[in-house]
């Protein structure tokens, strides 16, 4: 058995030794104070996060995909971030994919021992048909998860781009990887419970990876999610408000424009700004790789 006793994430936090003797408000304040350190830890990794984004975008442009691979909380956070990309950015569900040790059942309950099987990680890469065009983010806050290491080894053999995310210093993946993102969040509030600070750092980083990548792929205009999918009442309301914000149209006019644009916010904006048809708007967006700003700037040249 691997000795994990020296890992920072397994050390006792001197600030929380008597947390069991505190009032409810005091416990809440202690947790909040510890969480405040996470932002700096993530900020310190901004260069590696940026490098990772560029690699992910490169994969997308080649027709590749982004895979998150993890176990337990790390795996759940990967699946969560992947599942939010289609409604937010209008991506195909097969573009950003989360893989968790133990399969879908592990999303809602602990699958004991799933993370310990190195070979299962390798098999996950094979079963998902991962190619050299894809990018793999192996998430292991402790840095020691066999499932994740196995996946990275197999991805490396295939020639895929590989990124390793962990929260401990001096822990390296078994396989060579292209980038290591290593936010050092320190000792946890409850010893070894990496669903806390390490999990928060992971959530922040995964959000940043996909959000920045989608911006770089033209999924955002100004700071608006113009590629969202209008799949429910809330998203239809947001789509209409985005159109209203960009075009200064009223609600009824925005609703009619969205309908003429077949529910596509980008097309609706271009149609109004350039006073053109849906077909022409789609053509211009395609010519500009989906970037609304490029379409509008080109028309002003």
Residues with catalytic annotation? Answer: 84, 115
Cβ neighbours of residue 18 under 8 Å, at least 6 residues apart?
none
Helix 146-158 to helix 118-127 angle (10° resolution) is 40
Length of the chain: 301
- For 17, 162, 270, the CA distances from 201, given in Å and listed in that order, are 23, 19, 38
Angle between helices 46-61 and 24-43 (to 10 degrees): 60
Torsion of CA 209, 212, 216, 220, to 10 degrees: 130
For residue 135, the 8-state DSSP code is: E
Q: Give the helix/strand (H/E) hosting 282.
A: helix 278-287
């Amino acid at each position: 058995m691997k000795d994990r006793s020296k890992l920072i994430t397994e050390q006792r936090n001197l600030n929380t030794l008597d947390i069991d003797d505190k009032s409810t408000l005091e416990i809440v304040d202690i947790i909040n104070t510890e969480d405040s350190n996470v932002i700096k830890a993530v900020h310190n990794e901004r260069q590696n996060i940026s490098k990772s984004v560029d690699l992910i975008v490169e994969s997308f442009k080649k027709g590749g995909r982004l895979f998150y691979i993890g176990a337990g909380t790390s795996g759940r956070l990967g699946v969560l971030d992947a599942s939010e990309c289609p409604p937010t950015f209008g991506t195909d569900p097969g573009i950003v994919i989360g893989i968790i040790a133990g399969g879908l059942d592990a999303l809602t309950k602990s699958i004991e021992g799933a993370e310990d099987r190195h070979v299962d990680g390798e098999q996950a890469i094979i079963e998902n048909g991962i190619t050299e065009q894809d990018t793999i983010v192996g998430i292991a806050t402790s840095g020691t998860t066999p499932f994740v290491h196995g996946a990275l080894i197999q991805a490396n053999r295939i020639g895929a781009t590989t990124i390793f995310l962990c929260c401990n210093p001096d822990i390296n993946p078994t396989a060579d990887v292209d980038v290591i993102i290593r936010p050092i969040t320190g000792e946890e509030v409850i010893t070894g419970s990496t669903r806390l600070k390490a999990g928060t750092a992971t959530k922040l980083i995964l959000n940043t990876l996909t959000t920045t990548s989608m911006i770089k792929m033209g999924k955002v205009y100004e700071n608006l999610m113009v590629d969202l999918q209008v799949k429910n009442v809330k998203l239809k309301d947001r789509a209409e408000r985005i159109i209203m914000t960009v075009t200064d149209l009223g609600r009824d006019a925005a609703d009619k424009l969205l309908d003429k644009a077949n529910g596509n916010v980008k097309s609706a904006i271009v149609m109004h700004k350039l006073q053109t048809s849906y077909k022409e708007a789609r053509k211009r967006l395609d010519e500009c790789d989906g970037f609304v700003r490029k379409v509008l700037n080109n028309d002003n040249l």
